[in-house]
Amino acid sequence: MALVNTTEMFKKAYEGGYAIGAFNVNNMEIVQGIVAAADHLKSPVILQVSKGARAYAGHNYLMKLVEAATAETDVPIAIHLDHGPDFETCKSCIDGGFTSVMIDGSSLPYEENIAVTRKVVEYAHERGVTVEGELGTLAGVEDDVVVEAGNESYTKPEQVEDFASRTGVDSLAIAIGTSHGAYKFKPGQNPQLRFDILEEVSKRLPGFPIVLHGASSVMPEYVEKINAHGGKMPDAIGIPEPMLRQAAEMAVCKINVDSDLRLALTATIREQFDLYPDHFDPRQYLKPARQAIQEVVEHKMLNVFGCAGKA
């Protein structure tokens, strides 16, 4: 199936009370693992590319990998720019074949966020590309921006109607207590999300797709496996799966996951190196790593996001 934008996916997800998984891609094995899961479970999927991923693999390589994936399956796939930092990056992705972009003006003053988001929307919509904007800032690391815990700010519900109507965005990322990276909550902390803010936002924007970033659960089995095979990751707690399920049943139509894929990939490669110290053919350890990515994505689609069978 040809690449699609997010309009249809989000409409069905909103009405059906589920969310689409948006998974970050950086190389062939990650693309293949995610798409194999989507194909197996007949789920729509969003493959997202950060500025760092474009710098690492190159726009053309990632674009061609995703195009190759569409030839292997009938499920709808969107290719999305994650955390677009400025108009030029969004334009370059739109011109280069992306079907969806995020313009992340969340760290700008409000009026500047509106201005840059509006500019991206005008350019994107003329070309059939959907746009995600953001209000509120998450803690954690995204690309080269670090927001220390304590400096994050929740989305202000009283801004969302004004922002959505003046920018024309197709979806809105909000900050309700999720954060980027593998260290979201410390052991002993009780993870909480501000469902009251999500509720208030969706009352003010009925039928409008909301996006959750920083939604990895930091799956303990992979952290344990990394540490069992020579790694040194501090204990960490991610977003509990029941909370993500609840968000997916509400207005959240897109849930972003990167860290859980990184953990699964790293855990599997470390285990392979321990089990088979004589292996040196990359295919020997990348094949199980790709399989682990598929397992994580299938688990999320089937047991957490509810998008399995919705293609």
> Mind telling me the catalytic residues?
82
Least separation in angstroms between CB 213 and Zn ion: 3
- Beta bridge partners, 50, equal 82
In this chain, which of 86, 143, 241, 295 binds ligand G3H, going by CB under 6 A?
143
Interaction of residue 213 with Zn ion, rule CB under 5 A: yes
Stretch that binds ligand G3H, among 47-55, 57-65, 201-209, 292-300 (CB under 6 A): 47-55
Stretch that binds Zn ion, among 88-96, 195-203, 208-216, 244-252 (CB under 5 A): 208-216
Interaction of residue 257 with ligand 13P, rule CB under 6 A: yes
274-to-277, 282, 296, 299 alpha-carbon distances in Å: 6, 14, 22, 26
Stretch that binds ligand 13P, among 25-33, 88-96, 214-222, 284-292 (CB under 6 A): 214-222
Binding-residue total with Zn ion (CB under 5 A)? 1
Based on CB atoms, which residue is closest to ligand 13P, 76 or 238?
A: 238
248 sits in the region (left: phi over 0; alpha: psi -120 to 50; else beta) called alpha
88-to-62, 83, 84, 95, 117 alpha-carbon distances in Å: 18, 13, 9, 10, 12
Considering only residues 189 through 248, tell me which ones interact with ligand G3H, judged by CB under 6 A. none
Print the binding letters for residues 80-119 with ligand 13P: x by CB under 6 A, - otherwise. Answer: --xx------------------------------------
Based on CB atoms, which residue is closest to ligand G3H, 53 or 218?
A: 53
Considering only residues 49 through 68, tell me which ones interact with ligand G3H, judged by CB under 6 A. 50, 52-53
Of 115, 114, 16, 26, nearest to 66 (Cα)? 26
